[in-house]
Chains A and B, each alone.
With several copies, the nearest count.
Chain A
Amino acid sequence: MSAPKMLTSGQYLGSTGRLEAAVGTFEFTDDHEALRSTVRAFVEETFSEAQVRRLMAAPSALERPVWERMARELGLQGLVVPEEYGGAGAGPVELAIVLEEFGRRLVPVPLLSTALATVALAGGDPAVTAGRLEAVAEGRVVATVALAEDDGGWDAAGVHCAAVGGDRDGDGWRLTGTKSFVPDGLDADLLVVAARTDAGVGLFAVDSAADGLSRSALEVFDLTRRLARVRLDGVAATPLAAPADEAAFDRFLDAARIAVAAEQAGGADFALAMAVGYAKERVQFGRAIGSFQAIKHLCADAFVDVESARSAAYYGAWALAQDSPEVATVAPLAKAFCSEAFFATAQTNMQVHGGISFTYEHPAHLYYRRARSGAQLWGSPRTHRDLLATRIGL
């Protein structure tokens, strides 16, 4: 499979301007549909619920042979890696599709982590990033991003980890501090770390095997997403580009928000499908419970939420692909909305399933866990709404 090319700017632009451009975006191409089908088939085959539960219970959810197959056969890790570095050169729209599909089945492998790191790397200086991107695309390297710290702030203000000693060419930087809530931090070979220099916050590449770096697992509520705490004690690091480019950092954060939102939309979509499926099948009072308005209307409201979440994620991906100024508003909007839509849908799914959802063996709680924790990870809905308020002029 070769990943489809991303939409080029204006490709779908009609004569009436912006809205038409947006229409074009939402009109996924046949290549997009093919990508989605391929990924869905792969996920369903490779990450059945039983398999997900097995990985949940394993010391690590990362199994290198599968990871390498994902790279070799599907090119998923290289999806947004430029072609010159061995990737598919696709864009945010394709990434959103893949993450949505992985999100639907709570696939616990570090794809989102790696994708976020890849997005960060792809925005950096090729002199620094080219080799790393190649390694990621080939499936040799698992990567992640280390942004927040113990106080759980995902913006520049939350970055206290100190980057010191570097020169203007990017050599000789050392990081000291503690990063927390690092997704798949124990499995990652490469960490993209946000750190603060005298001039501001920037992103740095750090080798997980570097001296002075130590990691510990965090006990977490979401059983399908592992988080780690990473201590850095004078660890050698390379800035991805200029060492304190906060505008680039903000752009990266917006891209990350939209990527996460797409994954959440996928989770919400599957949770709704579960609820609807059960409502059709479960009989009480001599008829399927989905024939009762109380259940039917819960599902209908969830449908509005889920489709709206998908729209927000897709529109965000489109805006990113177009490098539109709208990214600034859509990104926090999408993260806030998809977080809450997923959580509400996961709740509806629990409620519709009734008592059975309270058993560990039923998957409803896994979606609830992902939704509940995911809402707070990468910044809460409330934080993102406040950012949105600022960005629309309040």
Chain B
Amino acid sequence: MTATTGADASAQASAEQVRAQVAAWLAENWQPGGGGPRWRERLVDSGWAAPTWPVEWFGRGLHRDLRRVVAEEFTRVGAKPAALDVTQLFANTILAHGTDEQKKSFVRPLALGEHQGCLLYSEPGAGSDLAALQTRADRDGDTWVVNGQKVWTSGAREATHGFLVARTDWDVPKHRGLTFFWLPLDQPGVDIRPIHQVTGGSEFNEVFLTDAVVADSHRLGAVDDGWRVLQTALGFERLIMGAAAGGSSRQRRRADGGETTLADRQSPWTRQIGGADYVELAKKVGKADDPVTRQEIARLYTLEKVNAWNSLRARADAGRGAASPLASIGKLAMSRIVHTGVSVTTNLLGAASVLDGDTDPVAAEVNRSSFAAFVTSIGGGTDQIQRNIIGERVLGLPREPEVDKFVPFREVRKAQATRRFS
């Protein structure tokens, strides 16, 4: 091992030193009730908004273990810690793969909230098999011309830019011909249409790209090396959720968009681990003494508890810097929990569960939850894909024969690239 770098040295800054620095800065800059004029700007420029980012890029170069100290000090004075180095997956990815020029241009507007990102990954023909995406980017001098369709994009209507993965080489196997861009959305070639969801909401969008243009200066990473950049971006999404809850990155991605909003709706039951709400509902409908109901609620309570304990173990592993096999089971377990939860509440409501809307708001909630349960079992990697991941990556079982592995993508059998409207 060689001598520690400056960053490492900084990482070893004692928690007390950091605490004192934050406190001092806050004492000077924070005005109770909102931070005062240009608070966000001062915060970003101070580096305390993203303490683990490099000093030269809006950070303080601290070790990740010290994040909590910073957060504690902010919380202590009543300020919300920005923790952009956790939550700003766009900036994080750009810092990891961008050129200095890109870091300079893109990171600060993101940090200040002037720019908003969205994720243009999934396509109608590329769901479980994301690497099969067919949106194409064709080079035209210093720009790229993009054509295709993205789907399940949350936050697209609020976003200024999107992380776009597009195919730039059709003559190599599917993972190897993709390129990653930071696409400006405010242009004629970008058409964003909300998806009318079964729940009645429209948290997700389709994004149609028709001769949309992105400058080569907005390309992240090398041409045809987009899969690697994507993995980094997905990793930052996992970071957002923390290792604790388990589950795959693509579920996580949805978390700050529409999907978790939906998934949350199946609360109050799943949110409050402990099942107290089922117990209350059972009492309210007079089924607390029914042995079948008691078995069912105890079973659901058990599923919730063991999943929570699994998460604690996963978090402990992550805290030691170890990849935890437990992190991969949370999403599958949650799928079972939410579907079971819907079943339990439906049985508690009985006939009333056929009602909806204002006629019976509780039934309406359960009905919405019944759909939202599919967000968990489908969105962000289906239960089937999750079982593959557990089987292959955790248990080490061999992969299936991959018919498209060594085949130029042009020759691979593909799904419909765009969604047909009936």
Interface residues of A (CB under 8 A from B): 15, 19, 22-27, 49-50, 148, 151-153, 181, 218-222, 227, 276, 279-280, 282-297, 299-301, 303-304, 307-309, 311-312, 314-315, 330, 333, 336-337, 347, 350-351, 354-361, 365, 368, 372-373, 376-377, 380, 382, 385-386, 388-390, 392-394
Q: With A333-B305, A359-B197, A380-B347 known to touch, is A299 a contact of B391 (CB < 8 Å)?
A: yes
Residue-wise, chain B 317-346 has the 8 Å CB interface mask toward A (1 for contact) of: 001100001100100110000010000001
Asked if residues B319 and A301 are in contact (CB atoms below 8 Å), the reply is: no
* Residue B79 interfacial (CB < 8 Å): no
Contact A376 B384 (CB under 8 A): no
Contact between B332 and A388 (Cβ–Cβ < 8 Å)? no
| Whole-angstrom CA separation of A289 from B385 in the bound complex | 12
* Closest residue of B by beta carbon distance from A308: B306
Question: Which of A26, A27, A357, A382 contacts B295 (CB under 8 A)?
Answer: A382
Knowing A303-B394, A357-B378 touch, does A393 contact B276 (C-beta < 8 A)?
Answer: yes
Complex contacts, B326 vs chain A, CB 8 Å? 307, 311
- CB < 8 Å: which of A23, A288, A311, A380 contacts B310? A311
- Whether A22 touches B391, Cβ cut-off 8 Å, given contacts A284-B127, A389-B295, is no
* Contact call B412/A286, Cβ cutoff below 8 A: yes
The answer on a CB contact under 8 Å between A308 and B396 is no
Point out the residues of chain A lying under 8 angstroms from B354, CB to CB: 181, 220-222, 227, 373, 376-377
Return 30 A-B CB contacts under 8 Å, by A number: A23-B316, A25-B312, A26-B313, A26-B316, A27-B316, A181-B354, A220-B356, A221-B355, A286-B132, A286-B407, A287-B404, A289-B128, A296-B392, A299-B397, A300-B391, A300-B395, A314-B313, A315-B309, A355-B151, A355-B379, A356-B419, A365-B198, A372-B346, A372-B353, A376-B346, A385-B295, A385-B299, A394-B279, A394-B282, A394-B297
Known interface pairs A23-B316, A308-B310; A293-B388 also in contact (CB < 8 Å): yes
Inter-chain contact B312/A276, CB cutoff 8 Å: no
How far, in Å, is B295 (CB) from chain A's closest CB? 5
Contact with B415, one of A24, A283, A290, A372 (Cβ below 8 angstroms) = A283
- Chain A nearest CB from B370 CB (Å) reads 6
The stretch of B98-106, B225-233, B357-365 that contacts the partner chain: B357-365
Among A288, A294, A307, A386, the most chain B Cβ lie within 10 Å of the Cβ of A307
Interchain nearest-CB distance for A317 vs B (Å)? 11
Query: Nearest-CB distance from A365 to chain B (Å)?
Result: 4
A312 and B403 form a contact (CB under 8 A): no
- Set B279, B292, B397, B421: member contacting A393, Cβ < 8 A: B279
Q: A337-B302, A359-B195 are in contact. Are A380 and B127 (CB under 8 A)?
A: no
The interface residues of chain B lying within 8 Å CB-to-CB of A282 are 415
Judge whether B413 and A287 touch: CB under 8 Å: yes
Given A297-B391, A386-B298: A181 in contact with B127 (beta carbons within 8 A): no
Q: How far is the CA of A324 from the CA of B279 in the complex (A)?
A: 22
Are B394 and A220 within 8 A (Cβ)?
A: no
Assess the A283–B197 pair: CB atoms within 8 A.
no
Task: Judge whether B307 is part of the interface by a CB distance below 8 angstroms.
Answer: yes
Is B275 in the interface zone, CB < 8 Å from A? yes
Considering the chains assembled together, what is the distance between the CA atoms of A368 and B390 in angstroms?
A: 24
Residue of A25, A304, A312 with most chain B CB atoms under a 10 A cut-off: A304
CB distance A392 to B132 under 8 Å? no
Residues of B within 8 A of A152 (CB): 350-352
Tell whether, in the assembled complex, residue B412 and residue A301 are in contact, meaning their CB atoms are under 8 Å apart.
Answer: no
| A314 neighbours in B (Cβ, 8 Å) | 309, 313
Contact B396 A276 (CB under 8 A): yes
Contact across chains for B374 and A392 when beta carbons are under 8 A apart: no
When the two chains form their complex, are residues B400 and A292 in contact, meaning their CB atoms are under 8 A apart?
Answer: yes
Contacts of B93 in A (CB 8 A): none
CB distance from A44 to the nearest CB of B (A): 16
CB of A124 to closest CB in B, whole Å? 26
Bound CA span A25–B315, Å: 12
Q: For the complex, is B375 an interface residue (Cβ under 8 Å from A)?
A: yes
Please tell me which one of the listed residues A15, A219, A354, A361 contacts residue B196 in the complex, with CB atoms under 8 A apart: A361
Q: Are B395 and A299 in contact (CB under 8 A)?
A: yes
